[in-house]
């Protein structure tokens, strides 16, 4: 948890489970995804110069993820929520976020464990978010009776699977008046039933929505019991899938199918990394930062002016790693592994099995409400500029030593791919360039000293060369 002292590995970075370097090919998947995203068009849900427009960003966290209880391992969803909260507090109350922790985050051990295994609180968490949403909508309407309210939802893991459930509630209920809501709660304080006694603020089906999904996984109750088709009022969506997740319990849930839909409504991309490399929470977070930057560009595309800040993408290979999530727990080590590109690695069916034949298309989103969609202009997603990466002084001081240690370990273990990646990264590092510069300066000083020395028997000075970088293990 956040208060624990972090253990460090030999390379000076946090101990973060088993992992291997993300090579150039892995990192290239993020550049390719960004290129696809740059050609994708999004509806503009909010304009800076329209004082009546409002955007609510609903953030659903993943299983076991709670930014309040464990801020050190905050996910990308939590970071989006926090950015918007800071924005709404400081300058722009027209964009507001709501946040619901992920399944399996209760204080009590038994409910926490059962929920973590099954995702059984799906309904309670979507209801909690809807309550937050209509409460904020009421505030907006009191401030401005002409307020035009739109919704963007983002989620990670089972939280991403809760996004369609919440979107369907907004579709079916519209925006209800919270002052007329009567709630029933269980012993854990979670909503089990609600009745609305006043007319809605906005009628059903008329609230435009857009979704951004970090590697949806619906293991347990979400897949078994819930309709996860995006409803007609969801007029745009973006999904990021983790290519390197191997755990059999973490099949990809294809709420949005890979690629761009023919009508330009949805886009899904595949990138390198395990489940939480895409959704965040690891401390070696080079891939998570890149994934979050993709989502930031998409969410910014819903506005005519960007409102979220991107993060610097680290060049340090100690941070750019793919985690072996299948080795993180004994259960995962022995559970069957999957290939997410094959039929056994993903879910295509978006409704419970007993609903097949009872709904139109059980494998895709419901048809878009074109009348609603046509109310919004489109724009290509702009890929925002990246801040320059910063290296901590302590890390810089130990940079060369740690890189050499990693290369030596890779060479001794026979991990050729890791050794090759390490040598390439070292050759291009600031530490290597500094070493070469210093060596060259030393040679020049020695040459000048010998030229200025008193006449002695002719002797050719020995020419020293900078140490070869990237040519083999340094022993």
Identify the three-state secondary structure at position 110.
helix
pLDDT (tens digit, 0 to 9) for every residue of the chain, 475 residues total? 445 567 899 999 999 999 999 999 999 999 999 999 999 999 999 999 999 999 999 999 999 999 999 999 999 999 999 999 998 877 679 999 999 999 999 999 999 999 999 999 999 999 999 999 999 999 999 999 999 999 999 999 999 999 999 999 999 999 999 999 999 999 888 999 999 999 999 999 999 999 999 999 999 999 999 999 999 999 999 999 999 999 999 999 999 999 999 999 999 999 999 999 999 999 999 999 999 999 999 999 999 999 999 999 999 999 999 999 999 998 999 899 999 999 899 999 999 999 999 999 999 999 999 999 999 999 999 999 999 887 554 444 455 555 666 666 556 656 666 566 666 656 655 555 555 545 555 555 555 555 554 444 433 333 333 333 333 333 3
Which domain does 409 fall in, by range? 394-436
Distance spanning both ends of the chain, measured CA to CA: 38
Of 424, 16, 195, 178, the C-alpha closest to 6 is 16
Q: Give yes or no for a contact between 333 and 341, defined as CB atoms under 8 angstroms apart.
A: no
- Mark which of 340, 355, 380 sits at the end of a domain: 380
Check whether residue 356 and residue 224 sit in a common domain: yes
Return the pLDDT at 296. 99
- The residues, ordered by sequence, that sit 6+ positions from 456 with a Cβ below 8 Å of its Cβ are none
Check whether residue 85 and residue 149 sit in a common domain: yes
Return the pLDDT at 471. 31
Would you state the structure tokens that stand for residue 381, as one six-digit string?
């997603």
Check whether residue 309 and residue 401 sit in a common domain: no
The DSSP secondary structure of 237-304, one letter per residue, reads: EEEEEETT--BTT--EE-SS-SEE-TTSSEEEEEESS-HHHHHB--SS-HHHHHHHHHHHHHHHTTBS
Identify whether 448 is part of a domain: no
Identify whether 185 is part of a domain: yes
Check whether residue 426 and residue 310 sit in a common domain: no
Q: Give yes or no for a contact between 104 and 112, defined as CB atoms under 8 angstroms apart.
A: yes
Check whether residue 277 and residue 404 sit in a common domain: no
Check whether residue 234 and residue 334 sit in a common domain: yes
Whose tokens are 């409102």? That residue is 307
Check whether residue 346 and residue 411 sit in a common domain: no
Count other Cβ atoms within 10 Å, centred on residue 380: 12
Identify whether 453 is part of a domain: no
Identify whether 463 is part of a domain: no
Of 167, 175, 108, 115, the C-alpha closest to 140 is 175
Alpha carbons 382 and 405: distance in angstroms, whole number: 40
Identify whether 298 is part of a domain: yes
Identify whether 33 is part of a domain: yes
Check whether residue 293 and residue 406 sit in a common domain: no
Check whether residue 348 and residue 423 sit in a common domain: no
Check whether residue 204 and residue 315 sit in a common domain: yes
Return the pLDDT at 187. 87
**How many angstroms separate the Cα of 448 from the Cα of each of 212, 445, 453, 463?**
63, 5, 9, 12
The whole-model pTM stands at 0.82
Q: In total, how many domains does the chain have? A: 2
The DSSP bridge pattern shows strands 95-100 and 346-347 to be unpaired
Return the pLDDT at 90. 72
Check whether residue 346 and residue 403 sit in a common domain: no
Check whether residue 366 and residue 407 sit in a common domain: no
Identify whether 146 is part of a domain: yes
**Torsion sign across C-alpha atoms 343, 23, 249, 58:** negative
Identify whether 206 is part of a domain: yes
């Amino acid at each position: 948890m956040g208060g624990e002292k972090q253990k460090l590995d030999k390379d000076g970075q946090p101990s973060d489970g088993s992992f291997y370097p993300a090579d150039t090919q892995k990192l290239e998947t993020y550049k390719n995804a960004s290129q696809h995203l740059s050609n994708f068009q999004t509806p503009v849900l909010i304009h800076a110069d329209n004082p009546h427009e409002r955007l609510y960003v609903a953030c659903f966290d993943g299983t076991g993820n709670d930014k309040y209880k464990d801020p050190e391992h905050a996910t990308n969803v939590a970071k989006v929520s926090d950015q918007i909260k800071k924005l709404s507090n400081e300058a722009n109350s027209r964009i507001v976020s709501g946040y619901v922790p992920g399944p399996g985050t209760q204080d009590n051990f038994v409910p926490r464990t059962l929920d973590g295994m099954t995702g059984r609180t799906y309904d309670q968490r979507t209801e909690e978010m809807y309550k937050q949403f209509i409460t904020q909508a009421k505030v907006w309407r009191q401030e401005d009776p002409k307020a035009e309210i739109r919704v963007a939802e983002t989620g990670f893991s089972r939280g991403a699977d809760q996004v369609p459930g919440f979107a369907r509630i907004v579709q079916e209920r519209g925006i209800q008046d919270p002052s007329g809501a009567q709630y029933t709660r269980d012993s854990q304080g979670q909503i089990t039933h609600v009745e609305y006694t006043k007319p809605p603020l906005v009628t059903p089906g008329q609230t435009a929505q857009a979704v951004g999904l970090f590697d949806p996984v619906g293991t347990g109750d979400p897949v078994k019991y819930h309709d996860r088709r995006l409803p007609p009022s969801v007029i745009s969506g973006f999904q990021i899938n983790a290519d390197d997740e191997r755990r059999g319990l973490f099949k990809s849930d294809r709420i949005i199918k890979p690629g761009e839909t023919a009508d330009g409504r949805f886009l899904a991309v595949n990138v390198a990394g395990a489940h939480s490399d895409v959704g965040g929470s690891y401390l070696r977070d080079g891939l998570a930062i890149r994934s979050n930057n993709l989502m930031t560009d998409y969410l910014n595309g819903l506005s005519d002016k960007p409102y979220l800040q991107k993060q610097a993408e680290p060049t340090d290979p100690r941070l750019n790693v793919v985690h072996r999530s299948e080795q993180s727990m004994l259960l995962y080590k022995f559970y069957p592994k999957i290939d997410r590109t094959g039929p056994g690695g993903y879910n295509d069916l978006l409704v419970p099995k007993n609903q097949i034949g009872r709904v139109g298309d059980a494998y895709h989103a419901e048809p878009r409400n074109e009348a609603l969609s046509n109310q919004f202009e489109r724009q290509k997603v702009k890929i925002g500029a990246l801040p320059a990466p910063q290296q901590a002084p302590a890390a810089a001081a130990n940079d060369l030593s740690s890189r050499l240690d990693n290369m030596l370990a890779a060479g001794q273990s026979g991990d050729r791919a890791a050794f090759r990646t390490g040598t390439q990264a070292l050759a291009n590092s600031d530490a290597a360039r500094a070493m070469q510069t210093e060596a060259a300066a030393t040679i020049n000083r020695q040459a000048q000293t010998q030229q200025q020395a008193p006449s002695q028997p002719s002797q050719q000075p020995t020419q020293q060369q900078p140490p070869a970088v990237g040519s083999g293990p340094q022993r």
